[in-house]
Amino acid sequence: MRTVRPRNTSSLRIAALAGLLLGVASAGAAADAGLRVQEMYVRSGAKAPAASKPRRFDFLVFYADGVAYRGDASVFSAGPAALQLDDESVRKDHLGSYQALGDEIRISWPAGKTEVMRRRGERLSGAAGTRWQRLPKVNGLLLQGKYVIAARTAEPVWIDFGSDGTFWDQGVIRHAANLQRLERGVPAPQGGGGTYLLDDYTLTLSYAGGPAARMFFCILPGEKNLVRPKRVVVSTYLFELKR
């Protein structure tokens, strides 16, 4: 069922500032208790899959406490700062530690593997000719525009960001983030509106009258206008700005 945007959005706009302030406070508290992203990169040169399938992105994350992660965004169920370090599958194949010395980054991966990467501006070069591009920071960013999922879906999936900190969406929680329930066991909405917050590559959607949902979010490299980027990743899906 299509979500109809009500004509009067004044109540959402009035609540936006309060929601953003509360969101910043809660995000700061969460950061103090867990991981904090230092830098995040995406691998260059990935081939686009068929339109019916989600595009897979490989990410490289350097955390402030020396932890390194390499893999896709499927483990970022509530954003990269909520990565579960005690998850055996994550520890076995994707987690390591790093040391940065000038433009050189030395990473120790599982099974005794060591990789040396070199920084060149916004890029990293690694073993076997791998290339990584740094993702832009999104902390506190306010977007403007409607974004539609790039993969083919049975139902419409989109999100409309407002520069006042409000949003409207259709299907993002259930289909893109694959969440069936939110905090306190509340069923995930098919669509709706509320306020949003971007922090530490995490998108928090606070629905009006309900709990919040958190998911991975990033803007892909090369964007000149971060307020209206052409392509973003929400959870594990590519979304494109609707012209």
2 domain-assigned = no
Structure tokens at 166: 């409000």
Burial class (CB in 10 A: 0-12, 13-18, 19+), 114: exposed
Q: Please, are residues 196 and 204 in contact by the beta-carbon 8 Å criterion?
A: yes
Q: State mean pLDDT over 11-19.
A: 42
What's residue 66's pLDDT? 94
What's residue 9's pLDDT? 45
CB atoms within 10 A of CB 60: 24
Which of 97, 99, 137, 102 shows the shortest CA–CA distance to 120? 102
* Cα gap 212→186, rounded to integer Å: 10
Residue 90 has pLDDT above 90, yes or no: no
Whether 151 and 116 share a structural domain: no
Compare 185 and 138 and report the one with higher pLDDT.
138
Instruction: Quickly list DSSP for 22-41.
Output: HHHHHHHHHHHHS--EEEEE
pLDDT digits (tens, 9 = 90+) for 53-84: 557 799 999 999 999 999 999 888 889 988 88
1 domain-assigned = no
pLDDT digits (tens, 9 = 90+) for 234-243: 998 999 999 7
3 domain-assigned = no
4 domain-assigned = no
Whether 182 and 219 share a structural domain: yes
Question: pTM of the entire structure?
Answer: 0.80
Domain that holds residue 220: 10-32+139-241
Whether 147 and 209 share a structural domain: yes
104 domain-assigned = yes
Compare 77 and 96 and report the one with higher pLDDT.
96
pLDDT digits (tens, 9 = 90+) for 159-212: 999 999 999 999 998 887 777 777 667 777 888 999 999 999 999 999 887 778
Structural domain ending residue among the three candidates 134, 158, 190 = 134
Among 30-39, 142-151, 173-182, 203-212, the range of highest mean pLDDT: 142-151
The CATH number given to whatever domain includes residue 55 is 2.40.128
Q: State mean pLDDT over 146-163.
A: 93
Compare 68 and 26 and report the one with higher pLDDT.
68
CB atoms within 10 A of CB 19: 21
Whether 93 and 49 share a structural domain: yes
Q: What value does the mean pLDDT of the chain take?
A: 82
Looking at the structure of the chain, the number of domains it has is 2
Compare 31 and 81 and report the one with higher pLDDT.
81
